[in-house]
Structure 1
Amino acid sequence: MPTHTSRSEVPANEKWNLEDIYSDISKWEADFHEIEKIAVKLKEFDGAIQDGQTLFQFLKTKEELSYKFNHVYAYCMLKVDEDTRDTSSQSLLDQAKSLSVKVSAATSFFMPFLLGLDEEKLKGYITEVEGLKYFEEDLLESYRYKAHVLSKEQEELLSQLGESLSVPSNTFGMINNADIKFGEVTDENGEKVELTRGMYAKLIEDEDREKRREAYKAYYKPYIASKNTIATTLSGAIKNNVTLAKIRHYPSALEKALFGDKVPKEVYENLITATKENIAPLHKYSQIRKEKLQLDELRQYDLSVPLVKGVKPEISYEEAYEKMLKGLAPLGEEYIGMLKEFKESRYIDVRETPGKRSGAYNLGIYGVHPYILLNHRDDLDSLFTLAHECGHGVHSKLSAKHQPQITARYSIFVAEVASTVNEVLLINYLLNNESDPEVRKHLLNHFIDQFKGTFFTQVMFAEFEMKTHELAEKGVPLNVEVFNRIYADLFREYNGDEVVFDDEVKFGWSRIPHFYRPFYVYKYATGFASAIHLATKILEGNKATLESYLEFLKSGSSDYPLELLKKTGVDLTSPAPIENSLKRFAELVEEFSRI
């Protein structure tokens, strides 16, 4: 695996090309100033929208601003993520964040104005002015929010608080990405070296248990040292969610989070209930793990090590890309053609370098193309991450190609479907094309672990969020002890009694960035369940499913997420998709225990 001590060492074809957004910084600055001017222009519409024509002018100008602003913001966000230590990029991002507050303040009058407008009058405007047809669905959708929008003055005040409300999340981001220094571990020469996230991901899967234990202790050390600070940031984020839900007259923070997607609370609750009713195979898997590793006690640092010894295929980035293209062939030629373009046209930033943002993501930019951040490590996990993020990327690209700007962005709720369909197709391809029984076992083990991480762990996180928000809603103070207790209880419930607790287990909550995006993680699990259903049908050669799935990828947010999924044959208002995917998990565990 190539290790790079600096970004300049990475070959150009493995770095994304941000010049597709702005060929130089002066163009970024020109757009920045243009947005400032447009924001002033938008403010002038306050109190001046008296007819359909003016309404159309306002909406058209606002969309033009939004197009430019997305480019300005995305550019500096991607710059920062290349190296979070770079102060000049950080300064651009700070400017963009301040600009975002200005824009939001300039347009905050609109929602209260719109909802004060008689619905029949609005429909009249839409009939009179041809251009308003484009905005019709959005305008009428706004009436759904009527009970949750405040007066003009209050909305303006809230928009001014935007930056302050994001302080808990930004603070945790800084602690987690810039400040945290992990403890030391012993390298292969017996020397002490400082642990990095990339090393941790490798060491926690090491066959040497002492190495795993050492890495685990070193990894948690800074989180435990900062436990009170992190508990304060998390508690702050949760209280902000609860307060905003109250201010906006939602029954709860959970219902506020689900409102935009029009997802009933029952979908969230069903997910947790159905998972806990079918948790036995996961507990059985913990037992298999303990037996297979021949341990007297199973601990948390034993939960990620592959159970098939001596099989750790090294897969270069080039090879990973080829395998992905072969694995996703059932999705058709257009799909594969797009993936080739991703690589050739440098949409992807491949390597881990000092200061680069950890993890992986896809960012679709309307009018440009998707950008994908990886920290590729030439292993099986990295191959799956590549397929996962490319699923998001194709979804972004197809939606942008087939939808106008107003409906091109898909909801997070459906986002995980495209990424997971890719992973399921890939594992199927790898299993079918592998004759070595040990490698097959390793792949099966990998899929079970991935199922556990994307489904069960996320449902556990979703329940943690639900419980902590409910306490905050009752006015119960949230602190380290409360977070520890809830997290430890849930960890035990999901992983079974086989796992013996180290002190670190209960601090698991302190390192999860997703908790700063309220009620987000459950979408991984519903997306995963939907994807298992779709991929199974596609692999059975079901043409109708394949066609409806490709249509789904082109749909952006042209309908509510549950409706878009229903068109592919997945109905999440019933527990069936969840139960079916849990049945699939039980089969995988059964097959694995047999072989």
Structure 2
Amino acid sequence: MTKYTNRTEVPIQEKWNLSDLYANQSKWEEDYRVIEKKAENLKEFDGQIGDGPSLYQYLKQKEELSFLLNKMYAYAMLKVDEDTRDTNSQALLERAKRLNVNVSASTSFFMPFLLSLDEAKLKQYIASDQRLIYFEDDLMESFRYKDHVLSKEQEEVLSQLGEALSSPGYIFGMINNADIKFGVITNKNGENVELTRGMYAKLIEDEDRKKRKEAYKAYYQPYVQLKNSIASTLSTAIKNNVTLAKIRKYPSALEKALFGDKVPKEVYENLITTTKNNLTSLHEYTRIRKEKLKVNELHQYDMSVPLVNGVMKDIPFDEAYRIMYKALSPLGEEYIKILKEFKESRYIDVRETPGKRSGAYNLGIYGVHPFILLNHQDDLDSLFTLVHECGHGVHSKLSSQHQPQITARYSIFVAEVASTVNEVLLINYLLTNETDQKVRQHLLNHFIDQYKGTFFTQVMFAEFEMQTHEMAEKGLPLNVEIFNQIYETLFKEYNGTEIVLDDEVKYGWSRIPHFYRPFYVYKYATGFASAIHLATKILEGDQNTLNTYIEFLKSGSSDYPLELLKKTGVDLTTPFPIENSLKRFGELVGEFSKL
């Protein structure tokens, strides 16, 4: 596996090209000043919008400002993520955040003004200026929020508090990415070395059980040590969500989170209920894992090791990319052409280096292109991650190309569909083209584990979020003991009785960054269920599904997420997609059991 001790060692072709955003920092500073001026100009519209033309001017200038602000903020964020220890980049991001708050304050008057109009008056404005047709759907959508928007003065106060309210997630990010020091492990030469995330991802899959246990204990060590600090950040984040929901007159924090996507809370509750009624196959898989590993006691550090030995091999980045081209070819030539552009034009930051943000993501920037962060480890997991993030990237690219700025950004609710369709196509390609039975078993095992992580684990997280928010809504305390108790109970329910719960298990909540984006993780599971349906149809050669799927990728937020999915043949208001996905998981476990 390729390792780098600092960023300068990484080949230029494996680093993203941020000059596509700004050639240098002075250009960034220029836009910063332009945004400041534009924000001041927007303030002047307060009390001055009285007809169609003045409404159009405000909306046009705000959209221009949003374009620049997104670009400027993205640059600062991407610079920080290259090296979270860099103080200059941190300062840029802090300034971008403050400016974002100032812009929110400058425009906070608008929503209360808009909702003070009656619908007939607004339609009169739109009829008086043809240019407002571009903004019409967005303006009418705002009326859905009428009961949840406060007075002009209250909105201004809330916008000023924006940075403070988002600070728990920021603090956790700094703890988790910049400050955290994992425990010490012994390397192959018997020397003591500090564990890194990249090393942990490898060691938790090591065939040597002692190595796995050592890595597991070292990985959880700082989270247990910092348990009270992290519990405070999470508790504050949850209470902030609950307080904001109350202030804005939503029935609950959950319903506030679902409101924007127009998703009924029954979809969320149905996901959890249907999954919990169908955990037999997951419990069976845990039993098979214990049996295959020939252990008296199954522990959490046994849950990631492949059950088929001697077949793991390195997959260098260039080879991973070639495999991706072949695996995703059922999606058509246009799709593959975009993937080639990602690599050749350096949209991707490939390698793990000290201080770099952990994990992987795609950030689509309208009018520029997507940027993808990876921490590629030259293994099968990294191949899946590449294919997953490129799914998001192509979705961003196609939506930006085919939608105006106002509807180009797709909802997170539909985002995971694009990434997971790619994963299903990848596993199908790998299994179809592999004749070695041992390798086939390994791939099947890998996909079951992916399934478990992307579906079942996310539903478990979703239930953890629901329970903790409900407790906060009842005024009950949230602390280390409460988080531990809820998490451990859920872990046991989902994973079954075959697994012995080490003390570290109950601290699983403390390492999850997604908990700082309320009610986000359930979308992985609904996305996965939708993707299983779509990928199956595409692989069967269903041309209509392929056509509607590509149209879906071009649709951005031109309709509500559930409606966009219905056009592809997936209806998440019924239990069918979830039940279908769980049935498929049962089939995979059955097939693996026979092998």
TM-score band, normalised by shorter chain = over 0.9
Task: Give the Cα–Cα distance (whole angstroms) in 1 for the partners of residues 346 and 172 of structure 2.
Answer: 31
One-letter amino acid of the counterpart of residue 446, structure 1: H
Which residue number in structure 2 is paired with residue 463 of structure 1? 463
Q: Deviations over 1:19-78 (max 9, x none)?
A: 111112121111110000000000000011011110000000000000000110001110
Q: Tell me, yes or no, if structure 1 residue 100 matches structure 2 residue 104.
A: no
One-letter amino acid of the counterpart of residue 220, structure 2: Y
Task: Give the Cα–Cα distance (whole angstroms) in 2 for the partners of residues 311 and 463 of structure 1.
Answer: 36
Which residue number in structure 2 is paired with residue 85 of structure 1? 85
DSSP-derived class of the 1:373 partner: strand
Task: Give the Cα–Cα distance (whole angstroms) in 1 for the partners of residues 31 and 210 of structure 2.
Answer: 54
Task: Give the Cα–Cα distance (whole angstroms) in 1 for the partners of residues 24 and 489 of structure 2.
Answer: 52
DSSP-derived class of the 2:255 partner: helix
Which residue number in structure 1 is paired with residue 144 of structure 2? 144
Which residue number in structure 2 is paired with residue 480 of structure 1? 480
DSSP-derived class of the 2:50 partner: coil
DSSP-derived class of the 2:311 partner: coil
**1:444-593 equivalence runs, <5 A:** 444-593=444-593
Task: Give the Cα–Cα distance (whole angstroms) in 1 for the partners of residues 155 and 525 of structure 2.
Answer: 34
Task: Give the Cα–Cα distance (whole angstroms) in 2 for the partners of residues 300 and 93 of structure 1.
Answer: 37
Alignment TM-score, normalising by the size of structure 1: 1.00
One-letter amino acid of the counterpart of residue 479, structure 2: N
- Shift in Å, 1:131: 0.8
Q: Deviations over 1:421-468 (max 9, x none)?
A: 000000000000001111100000000000000000000000000000
Task: Give the Cα–Cα distance (whole angstroms) in 2 for the partners of residues 489 and 444 of structure 1.
Answer: 29
Q: Deviations over 1:183-242 (max 9, x none)?
A: 000100011100000000000000000000000011111100011111111000000000
DSSP-derived class of the 1:500 partner: coil
- Shift in Å, 1:311: 1.4
Task: Give the Cα–Cα distance (whole angstroms) in 2 for the partners of residues 517 and 451 of structure 1.
Answer: 22
Task: Give the Cα–Cα distance (whole angstroms) in 1 for the partners of residues 7 and 473 of structure 2.
Answer: 46
Structure 2, unaligned stretches of length 5 or more? none
Task: Give the Cα–Cα distance (whole angstroms) in 1 for the partners of residues 512 and 12 of structure 2.
Answer: 32
**1:34-113 equivalence runs, <5 A:** 34-113=34-113
Task: Give the Cα–Cα distance (whole angstroms) in 2 for the partners of residues 321 and 204 of structure 1.
Answer: 25
Task: Give the Cα–Cα distance (whole angstroms) in 2 for the partners of residues 537 and 200 of structure 1.
Answer: 37
- Equivalenced residues, count: 595
Which residue number in structure 1 is paired with residue 281 of structure 2? 281
Q: Deviations over 1:116-146 (max 9, x none)?
A: 0111010011111011000000000000000
Q: Tell me, yes or no, if structure 1 residue 217 matches structure 2 residue 204.
A: no
Task: Give the Cα–Cα distance (whole angstroms) in 2 for the partners of residues 2 and 286 of structure 1.
Answer: 33
**1:122-161 equivalence runs, <5 A:** 122-161=122-161
Task: Give the Cα–Cα distance (whole angstroms) in 2 for the partners of residues 554 and 435 of structure 1.
Answer: 37
Task: Give the Cα–Cα distance (whole angstroms) in 2 for the partners of residues 547 and 360 of structure 1.
Answer: 29
One-letter amino acid of the counterpart of residue 459, structure 2: V
Which residue number in structure 2 is paired with residue 207 of structure 1? 207
DSSP-derived class of the 2:476 partner: coil
4+ runs deviating over 6 angstroms: none
One-letter amino acid of the counterpart of residue 18, structure 2: L
Task: Give the Cα–Cα distance (whole angstroms) in 2 for the partners of residues 68 and 501 of structure 1.
Answer: 50
**1:41-440 equivalence runs, <5 A:** 41-440=41-440
DSSP-derived class of the 2:205 partner: coil
Task: Give the Cα–Cα distance (whole angstroms) in 2 for the partners of residues 273 and 559 of structure 1.
Answer: 27
Task: Give the Cα–Cα distance (whole angstroms) in 2 for the partners of residues 299 and 71 of structure 1.
Answer: 45
DSSP-derived class of the 2:342 partner: helix
DSSP-derived class of the 1:90 partner: helix
Which residue number in structure 2 is paired with residue 6 of structure 1? 6
Task: Give the Cα–Cα distance (whole angstroms) in 1 for the partners of residues 463 and 90 of structure 2.
Answer: 35
DSSP-derived class of the 1:499 partner: coil
- Shift in Å, 1:274: 0.5
- Shift in Å, 1:387: 0.3
DSSP-derived class of the 1:47 partner: coil
Task: Give the Cα–Cα distance (whole angstroms) in 1 for the partners of residues 88 and 324 of structure 2.
Answer: 37
Identity %: 77
Task: Give the Cα–Cα distance (whole angstroms) in 2 for the partners of residues 314 and 168 of structure 1.
Answer: 38
Alignment TM-score, normalising by the size of structure 2: 1.00
Task: Give the Cα–Cα distance (whole angstroms) in 2 for the partners of residues 548 and 167 of structure 1.
Answer: 41
Task: Give the Cα–Cα distance (whole angstroms) in 2 for the partners of residues 221 and 68 of structure 1.
Answer: 42
Task: Give the Cα–Cα distance (whole angstroms) in 1 for the partners of residues 572 and 562 of structure 2.
Answer: 7
- Shift in Å, 1:265: 0.3
Which residue number in structure 2 is paired with residue 15 of structure 1? 15
DSSP-derived class of the 2:113 partner: helix
Task: Give the Cα–Cα distance (whole angstroms) in 2 for the partners of residues 27 and 289 of structure 1.
Answer: 55
RMSD between aligned residues: 0.5
One-letter amino acid of the counterpart of residue 24, structure 2: D
- Shift in Å, 1:398: 0.1
- Shift in Å, 1:2: 1.3
Task: Give the Cα–Cα distance (whole angstroms) in 1 for the partners of residues 538 and 340 of structure 2.
Answer: 22
DSSP-derived class of the 1:519 partner: coil
One-letter amino acid of the counterpart of residue 133, structure 1: I
Q: Deviations over 1:368-393 (max 9, x none)?
A: 00000000000000000000000000
- Shift in Å, 1:307: 0.3
One-letter amino acid of the counterpart of residue 93, structure 1: L
Q: Tell me, yes or no, if structure 1 residue 441 matches structure 2 residue 441.
A: yes
- Shift in Å, 1:152: 0.4
Task: Give the Cα–Cα distance (whole angstroms) in 2 for the partners of residues 502 and 451 of structure 1.
Answer: 24
Task: Give the Cα–Cα distance (whole angstroms) in 2 for the partners of residues 142 and 442 of structure 1.
Answer: 50
DSSP-derived class of the 1:298 partner: coil
Task: Give the Cα–Cα distance (whole angstroms) in 1 for the partners of residues 234 and 475 of structure 2.
Answer: 15
Task: Give the Cα–Cα distance (whole angstroms) in 2 for the partners of residues 373 and 168 of structure 1.
Answer: 23
Task: Give the Cα–Cα distance (whole angstroms) in 1 for the partners of residues 196 and 385 of structure 2.
Answer: 19
Task: Give the Cα–Cα distance (whole angstroms) in 2 for the partners of residues 513 and 81 of structure 1.
Answer: 15
Q: Deviations over 1:74-93 (max 9, x none)?
A: 01110110011111111111
Task: Give the Cα–Cα distance (whole angstroms) in 2 for the partners of residues 409 and 81 of structure 1.
Answer: 22
DSSP-derived class of the 2:504 partner: helix
DSSP-derived class of the 1:185 partner: strand
Task: Give the Cα–Cα distance (whole angstroms) in 2 for the partners of residues 2 and 270 of structure 1.
Answer: 44
Task: Give the Cα–Cα distance (whole angstroms) in 2 for the partners of residues 167 and 19 of structure 1.
Answer: 29
Which sits farther off after the overlay, 389-398 or 304-313? 304-313
Task: Give the Cα–Cα distance (whole angstroms) in 1 for the partners of residues 372 and 173 of structure 2.
Answer: 20
